[in-house]
Amino acid sequence: QARIRDRRGFRFYSAEMTAFANERATIERQLRRAIADGALELHFQPQFEVSGSSVVGVEALVRWTDPELGVVEPERFVTIAEDNGLIHPLGEWVMRRAFTQFISWQAAGIAPPVLSLNISARQLERIDFVDSVAALVAETGISPQSLEFEFRESVLSDVAYVVPALEALDRMGIRLSIDGFGTGFSPLGNLKTLPISKLNIDRSFVSGIGSNQGNDTIVRTVLGVARTLGLRVIAEGVETEDQAVFLRNEGCDEFQGHLYGQAVCGEDFVRRFARTRT
């Protein structure tokens, strides 16, 4: 029983819907505070080349444990932050924190080659976004060539205001990739015209490998599109050896997933995945 209208058109909401709306309001209030207090955290997940022997990158993933709400999933609070504009300070915090962490790993000689960050298409709407990235690059001293920005597939549809920003990031030397590839209905032609260098096959397709033909065909098609356009491909959510074998045989370039390593805090990342000092 979701929403019921009476004859005059008044709407009645169920108790669950009221609870959901209340929870959302609480998340908004607490998230604003968490960002201001610097109470968010970052976790880091390794990205491997397909033999599994070397870490080629690390993805920073935001984490939030609220005193009142407990752990809130990033999918949930990032979506809310995108709706209410908090994504701008949140994204800025993630960038500064991730850059700083990565720079300290580089100074210690233990950084992987690439730092990947998730950037919301909403962040590109701010005309000063590229300038703010450039300012953070200057402030932290990170090399833009070691950065990769992951955008959800919808960025391919929002092309009008997105193009100049993506091109400016590309000119800075930052690599751009499409996250969750295959889940949207975006115009593939834009893959060719935008400065995209990598596709991230969505976890939902990787988890379906071997379970049905249609799914395997989608994975092969994504790899085929990538090969045709000269793009690299990373498979996300690789959890089993069978998935890894299939993807390796089909020409996938990189893996990320629990088979190789979950997202962990900075210290654990260093302990488990850091390149040994040379």
Q: For binding to ligand C2E (CB under 6 A), which residues are involved?
A: 45, 61-62, 73-75, 78, 94, 118-120, 150, 179-180, 203, 236-239, 256-258, 263
Residues of span 236-265 touching Mg ion by CB under 5 A: 236
d(CA 33, CA 46): 30
Query: Which of 94/111 has CB closer to ligand C2E?
Result: 94
End-to-end CA distance of the chain: 63
Select from 126, 212, 135 the least CA-distant residue to 165.
126
Selected range binding Mg ion among 119-127, 162-170, 193-201, 239-247, rule: CB under 5 A: 193-201
Rounded CA separation 33/145 (Å): 33
**Is the CB of 66 or the CB of 150 nearer to ligand C2E?**
150
Task: Figure out which of the listed residues 179, 198, 233, 238 binds Mg ion, where binding follows CB under 5 A.
Answer: 179
Beta strands in the chain (DSSP E): 3-5, 11-13, 41-49, 55-66, 70-72, 114-118, 147-152, 175-181, 198-201, 232-236, 254-256
CB of 62 to ligand C2E, least distance (A): 4
Residue 123: which of 143, 157, 95 has the closest Cα? Answer: 95
Q: For residue 104, give the amino acid letter.
A: S
- The nearest distance, CB 179 to Mg ion, in angstroms, is 4
> Minimum CB separation from Mg ion for residue 215, in Å?
17
Min separation Cβ 34 and Mg ion, Å? 21
Rounded CA-CA distance 95/115 in Å is 10
Alpha-carbon distances, residue 73 vs 6, 66, 111, 184, 185 (angstroms)? 36, 11, 27, 21, 25
**What tokens does 245 get?**
């074998």
Backbone angles phi, psi at 200, to 5 degrees: -105, 110
Number of residues that bind Mg ion (CB under 5 A): 5
Nearer to ligand C2E, 73 or 128 (CB): 73
Of the two residues 137 and 201, which places its CB atom closer to ligand C2E in the complex? 201
Minimum distance between the CB of residue 152 and Mg ion, rounded to whole angstroms? 8
User: Which one, 119 or 137, has the nearer CB to ligand C2E?
Assistant: 119
What is residue 256's DSSP assignment?
E
The dihedral sign for the CA sequence 163, 166, 169, 174: negative
Q: Which does 257 bind (CB under 5 to 8 A by kind): ligand C2E, Mg ion, none?
A: ligand C2E
Running DSSP on this structure, what letter comes out for residue 91? H
Q: Does 150 bind Mg ion (CB under 5 A)?
A: yes
Instruction: Please choose which of ligand C2E, Mg ion, none residue 254 contacts, taking the beta carbon within 5 to 8 angstroms, the exact cut-off set by kind.
Output: none
Q: Which two tokens stand for residue 231?
A: 């793009």
Q: Which does 237 bind (CB under 5 to 8 A by kind): ligand C2E, Mg ion, none?
A: ligand C2E
Nearer to Mg ion, 92 or 150 (CB): 150
Residues making contact with Mg ion (CB under 5 A): 118, 150, 179, 200, 236
